[in-house]
Structure formats: C-alpha cells, structure tokens
Structure 1
Amino acid sequence: MSAAANGAGVPVVVTGIGVACSIGVGVEPFAASLRAGRTGIRRQDGQVSAPLAGFDFAHAVGAVPGLPQELSRRALRKAGRSLPAVQAAVAAALQAWTGAGLPAADLPGSQVGVVVGGNNVTGAAAYRMAERFRGDPVAVPGRFALHVQDTDHVGVLSEILAITGEGYTVGGAAASGNLAVIHGARMVRSGAARACLVVGAMTELSPVDRQSYLALGAMADPAAAPDDDVLCRPFDTTRRGFVAGEGTAALLLEAEPSARARGVRPLARVAGEAMALSANSLADPSEEVEVAVMSTALARAGARPEQLDYVNTHGTASRLGDEVEAAALRRVLGRDSGAWVNATKALTGHCLCGAGAVEAVATVVQMTHGFVHPNPHLGMPLTGELRFAGRQAEPARIGLALSNGFGFGGLHSAVVFAGEVA
C-alpha cells in the first residue's frame, strides 16, 4: 500500500487525536468508554439524546496532558466567550495538538492548515438568540455576528494555535467529518501544508431541527416507545431511527517525512479516501454509490477488500440507511470476510456534522489499543452475512480499517486507515 496508490504525493499520517463527546472528553476516557460499551444516550425531559453533559471548558483545557501554560491561557482567553461547540472543538484540537508534540515543534504556522467539517452548526444558538431578540432587539451583542458564522471555528482555532496556512470549512451534512479528513489529507499530500488540523464540528439541534427530523422519519421518536431508554440500535431489526448526539473530534494530519524528522511515531496512516455524489437532493442513500466509494477508497489505498480488518459504518439505526449500507457492505466485503462491522453511534449517538471525525478517532483508538468496541444493543442483526461487533468488547489486531460517512443530499464518503506505521 504505497503513497502512489492514492495518487502522487507524500504519505499522510495521523500524529495526534482529540475528542469531546457524550462518552468522554479526552482520548483515554473516550477509549475506556468504547472498550466498556458505555453509552452516552439518555432519556430526559421527554427527549432521548446523547448530550455533551456537564462540559466545562476551563476544566477540559486544564485536563489536556502536556499543554503548555501559555497555550492554555491563550485558549481560555480567546475562546472563553465562544459558543459551546467552538469551546468543545478547541478542547479536542488542543488534545490532538499536544498529542502530536506540536507545542515543542519547530513548525511554522504558515505550513499548517485547518479544515473544519460542518455546516449550519449554529442553528440552536441562532434559535436562542431569536427568542432574545423578540424580547429586546438591542440585547443582541455585536459579537454574535461573528459567532453565528460556521467559520468562527476556523478563526478561533487558527488564532489560538497561530495557524496561518490554508483554512476553511467543508459542509457535507453527516458526511462533514469524513470530508474534512479527506480534504485535510489532500492538502498535506499535495504539499499545500506540512500538517493540517482537522476538526468535525459539534451540532446542537434546535427544537425546530429536532421536530423536522422527527417529521422526516429519520430520528427515533421517544414518544412512540415510552419504555425504551435506548432507542438507538444500529443494524438491529428493531431499529427506530437515529438518536442525536453532541460531539466533536480532531485529528492532526501530517506529512510522513515531517513526522519522521520530528521523531514522532504516527498513530495511523490515511491510506485512501473517496467521495461521490448520487445526483439526489433527498435523504435516501444509494447502495451503488456506497459500493463505489468504499471500493475506490480501498483501491486508492492499494488494498483488497479481504485485507480489511474493521469497518466503522455510518450505521445510524435508520430503517433505510442501515439496510442499504449492509447490502453495500455485503457486496464490497464478499461472503467470506472476517472484517468486524461496527457502529460507534450505538454509544455516542449520531453526532451529525461531527460524526465522521468522532468515528475516525474511534477507529484509530481501536487500532492503537487493539480491540473492537461493543454494539451493546444489537440483539437481532438484520443480516447474518456480516461479522457485526457483539455486546462485549473483543480483542482485535486492526491493521486496515474503513470508516464510512454519508450525508443528506447524496453525499457518500469513505476513508481507509492503515495501522502499524513504522
């Protein structure tokens, strides 16, 4: 699996990761929750979701291992009045930044980029501000004009970390996190940046957003199952729809020669990636395009399907989505595949724009820690032709993994990660 297999350019590796979601703020708490099959999904106030409950920005920054004091002060000063989603992104980014050893690196800010995956991520904040505006229009602060922009993530992160290379947001609905990884990898591979911070933005739903998903039939309706506190059962015959989760994650992607020169051992390599549209503006996925992006990502990684050890599915627990993805996986993997097929959303809920990044970090964590996390509520799999993760964690050697991300509007994507990087 050479770099040439994925097009001309330098190999791209993951040198740092960070996460803040319902099952953990920080890589090690997140890893422990994954291994234990601990879910962040809860029923509260008539809703079922996986919130980033009890998140404290100052505590999260203070808990980042090896964070220099000056960088900590700068983060608290620059993001202290930011929206919660930006604060969570900063906490995850600092974890990835320090994990990659960048605070001590001689790496000019002009050689570092930042890509934030997410669109329409400030809807809940805008909803709250609209209520405030109706009560007293002059109470709307001027800074809200900055905070309501999706690019506020980019601006705040770049200021805190002194990033002056390329930067932008990439929107792809629930595929946004994957698309950020894809574009960040391409930035590094092409030589446009020596390193790139990739972040999947946290999405906080407004009441209007939540009602529209319920009306669409995509979200699990807690009123339809008042005695069910779980609701999220990816790939189970009793699945009812997705459960919204709040979460963000960050990956530091770097040119492999740069990491080697710094003496940093990579966590994984971005071996292949693919994205394609299905010429469809609606919510229904395409089996043919899912097969195409998975097959293309593997081909660009120079890998065969039978070499896959693990698939982190999009796996939302939606009726149609899980059925289509399972059918696509059967076609890509074949009947004799030993690859584990898993669904991180069973634990974290559907983190929407941040999902792809959260699940990329979950994939890398399982690769480096040598296990497959449980899908604890999968009792009746919709097919027996795939090796679904069970109700307990399993030890596993994962050398090659595939992570899927699909979004409304016909967006389909897949990323291949390779482990055991020398």
Structure 2
Amino acid sequence: MNWQPCCMKTNSATDTVISGVGVITATGQGKTAVMNAWLEGRHAFDVMKRPGRQQGTSFLGAEIGDITYPEHFSKKMLRTASFTGSVALVTLEEAWNEARLSEVAPHRIGLVVGGSNTQQRELMQTCDAYRGREAFLRPVYGFTFMDTDVCGLCTETFGIRGMSYTVGGASASGQVAILQAIQAVQSGQVDVCIAMGALMDLSYWELQGFRSLGAMGSTSYASDPGGACRPFDQQSDGFIFGECCGAVVIERAETAAARNIKPYAVLSGWAIAMDGNRNPNASCEGECTVIRNALEKAGITSEEIDYVNPHGSGSPTGDATELKALQDCGLSHAYINATKSVTGHGLTAAGAVEVIATLLQMKSGILHPTRNLTDPVVPAMNWVKQTPVHHQIMHALNLSFGFGGINTAICLRRY
C-alpha cells in the first residue's frame, strides 16, 4: 500500500518548522549512524552492565557505548557533568551545528529539556560512595543533583541566553518539551527554541520498580536479549529500557530561510490532554482526544495521515489500547512501525527521539523495520514488519504517552 493524500498544504514563511536534529542511541552517535541502524534493524540489547544498574539482577536493556566529544568541550565541564548531562551536550552539538545556531543572537535562543528525575543512577552512586563520610561530599553536588543542571551545562557550553527550563511528562517528556518549544517560538519569547528529550539514567531501584509494577519486560528472553523488545507483538510482556537522547531545533520557516536552512518538516498540529488518572494504565479516550485535536489543529483528516510513529512501548495493555485508538480514529490505513523495537524505551527521551525517527524517515523516503514483530496484536494494520518499506511520508502522526495519564500527539507535514 502506498497511500497518497488528495492534496498538499502550501508552505508559508510563518510555518513553525524543525530545522535541525541531534540524536544518540545505543546503536550509534549522530543521525547518520542511528538511521543506518534503524534501517538495518540492528540492536544493542543485552544484560546491562553500567555500574549501578544491577544488584544481583540481570535486567535487559540497550546501553550507549563510547562517546566522541568535540575538542572544544571543556574538560572540566565534562568531569563534573553527569552521564545525562554529557550525553545532552553531544546531542545538542549535532542539532546546533546542523541548524547553524551560531548565526542566531544568543538571547533569541531558548532550550526546553524534557525529563525529570533523569540522574537517579548517579545520585544513588554518590549517596553510596559518601555514606558515613557525608562531610566530604563534593560541594558541586549542591546543584548538580537538580534536573536544571542539564540546562546549565547546555546554556553555558553553547552560550544560550534566552529562556531555559525542564519539563516533566514521564515517558512523554520529550514530546512535551517540543510542545513547550513551539509555544515559546509562536509567542515570540525566542526566535529559535531547542527541545530535548534527556537521557533518563536509571539505577537498579527504578528498574526493580518498573519490574515490580509489571511495566518492564520479565526474564522470558534472558537467553535471547535481542528478542525481548517486541512492541505490538503477541509475545511482548513489557518495555525494555534503552539509553538515548534527542534534540530538535524549532523556529519559524522565515528565520530558518534567513540562514539558508531547509527545514525537515512543518509542525502542523499538536495536542496534549490528561486522563485525570494518577495510575499508569492507558486510556483509549485520552489517546483518541489528542489524535483528533492534533488533526483538527493541522487542518487535515485522518485519511491524509500516511504514517504513524506510535508510542508502542511493548506493554501488552498499552499497545492494545493504542491500536484501538488508532482504529477508532480512522488510521488503520497508515503505515506504522515501532522505533522502540530498535532503540528500546528511552522514557524521558523517547518522544523526542521518535519525532527524529519520523523526520529522518520522511527525508530518506524509507520506513525502518519493526524488530521482532512476527505476530501482531492487531494484524489488520498497515505494518512495517521485518524489512524496510520505501514510502514518501506526506503527513505523519507521532504519539507519546506518560504515566499519570499524559497523552500527547504531534502532526508533521512534509516541507
């Protein structure tokens, strides 16, 4: 199936667009390496080995390997940065350079970091290391334990002088950051705003909590880590964690054109809505609400959406609920794949990384495969299964949901 919409909206100088991206996952650093891994279906799932991730356990996940840092980064800064912070810096570097933000006045650039409680593993390690000798705790701990330290690292390194803050939306944090960045640009608060989904650095406490909750995958695939992450498949029993971070640059098309930048896509519609439910269970009603509201804002019908990048965490209940929402909203015809099948669930980073996946697929004209999708929960969807599919995306829908009843949706239009 190669669905094409009946018409194409005209681009405008005042469109809100994405002009640059930066991404890192366990399978690569930078958009080219990451996109190649997505298209090839390569993965990095294994028993996690990062210190502080295990305590007599064998949690599965995908961890980032060696990172290449630019020479101009301050060595002192990197020594005092958390893992979350240092990954944020290299991710922002790629987006910054692609969008040529050095040509923009620093006080007209903003940064929204999506994610709260993102440095849990390092905080736990610090507490363990200084227990019984608290008086020797490094003074920098007094501010580095805060999520806003990621903002501080990035704004100091890149000279950002506009607004900057963090927003928490659980697993929807990355996409919530994008929504906040859109508002900052459209209100005129800044000319350019970077939205980042920060890496959530889990310790064994959070991993055990997710396992006890029944949200994270069990040990069913202990002998086959590569088979454990299987969104939308009948054999899935929960999400599998994957380290990642993504950043997108948001601005008006006219400001991008002034620097001779061709945008990736137009942010044509978006929505956020709450379920009014503290618990982690998904709500079809809430998901349908944001889908319909985003489509209405974009001024398009569901028939015009030809690609969906879903939340697709691998939770049996969550996946089934999401597919019902897509069906109820008339989106069964659209191509659908699951980026988390390759990256794992990046939690606070997921929403931003998956928007980047959509943008890179839109640019390349190829949809990446969904690993391990052999027996779909709902067969009657337009799945991209084990092999890539050539398709020119015209209108895409990205979905991202979080514990506490957070639902978000974003529509992207080819520029």
Q: How does 1:123-134 map to 2 (within 5 A)?
A: 123-134=120-131
Check if 1:289 corresponds to 2:286: yes
Of 50, 63, 68, 1:51 maps to: 63
Of 172, 184, 198, 1:187 maps to: 184
Paired position in structure 1 for 2:5: none
Paired position in structure 2 for 1:250: 247
Check if 1:203 corresponds to 2:200: yes
Paired position in structure 1 for 2:149: 152
Of 390, 394, 400, 1:399 maps to: 394
Counterpart of 2:32, as a letter, is: E
Check if 1:25 corresponds to 2:3: no
Q: Is the 8 A contact 1:11 1:189 kept in 2?
A: no
Q: Which runs of 5+ in 1 are unaligned?
A: 63-71
Q: How does 1:220-299 map to 2 (within 5 A)?
A: 220-222=217-219, 224-229=220-225, 230-299=227-296
Percent of pairs with identical residues? 32
Of 352, 371, 386, 1:357 maps to: 352
- In the TM superposition, what is the alpha-carbon distance from 1:76 to its structure 2 partner? 4.4
Q: Is the 8 A contact 2:15 2:253 kept in 1?
A: yes
Paired position in structure 2 for 1:165: 162
Of 382, 390, 395, 1:387 maps to: 382
Distance 2:155 2:318 in 1: 36
Q: Secondary structure at the match of 2:185?
A: helix
- In the TM superposition, what is the alpha-carbon distance from 1:3 to its structure 2 partner? 8.8
Distance 1:295 1:214 in 2: 33
TM superposition score normalised by structure 2? 0.92
Distance 1:159 1:179 in 2: 23
Distance 2:48 2:168 in 1: 30
Paired position in structure 2 for 1:39: 43
Distance 2:336 2:39 in 1: 15
Counterpart of 2:224, as a letter, is: D
Paired position in structure 1 for 2:17: 13
State the Cα deviation string for residues 310-346 of structure 1 (Å, max 9, x = none).
11110011011001001001111355x2x11111110
Q: CA RMSD in A?
A: 1.7
Q: Is the 8 A contact 2:48 2:63 kept in 1?
A: no
Distance 1:169 1:2 in 2: 34
Distance 1:24 1:402 in 2: 25
- In the TM superposition, what is the alpha-carbon distance from 1:79 to its structure 2 partner? 3.4
- Report the CA distance shift for 1:44/1:175 in structure 2 as closer, same or farther (over 3 A): closer
Aligned residue pairs, count: 398
Q: Secondary structure at the match of 2:237?
A: coil
Q: How does 1:327-366 map to 2 (within 5 A)?
A: 327-335=324-332, 337=333, 339-366=334-361
Q: Is the 8 A contact 2:308 2:398 kept in 1?
A: yes
Q: Secondary structure at the match of 1:283?
A: coil
Distance 2:63 2:73 in 1: 27
Distance 2:322 2:25 in 1: 25
Q: Secondary structure at the match of 2:22?
A: strand
State the Cα deviation string for residues 220-275 of structure 1 (Å, max 9, x = none).
012x4433322111001111100011110111111111011221111111111100
Q: Is the 8 A contact 2:95 2:247 kept in 1?
A: yes
Counterpart of 2:223, as a letter, is: D
TM superposition score normalised by structure 1? 0.91
Q: How does 1:33-112 map to 2 (within 5 A)?
A: 33-44=37-48, 46-52=58-64, 54-56=65-67, 59=68, 61-62=69-70, 72-103=71-102, 105=103, 107-112=104-109
- Report the CA distance shift for 1:75/1:94 in structure 2 as closer, same or farther (over 3 A): farther
Q: Is the 8 A contact 1:219 1:240 kept in 2?
A: yes
Paired position in structure 1 for 2:371: 376
Q: Is the 8 A contact 1:132 1:139 kept in 2?
A: no
Paired position in structure 2 for 1:65: none
- Report the CA distance shift for 1:195/1:77 in structure 2 as closer, same or farther (over 3 A): farther
Q: Is the 8 A contact 2:305 2:331 kept in 1?
A: no
Distance 1:228 1:263 in 2: 48
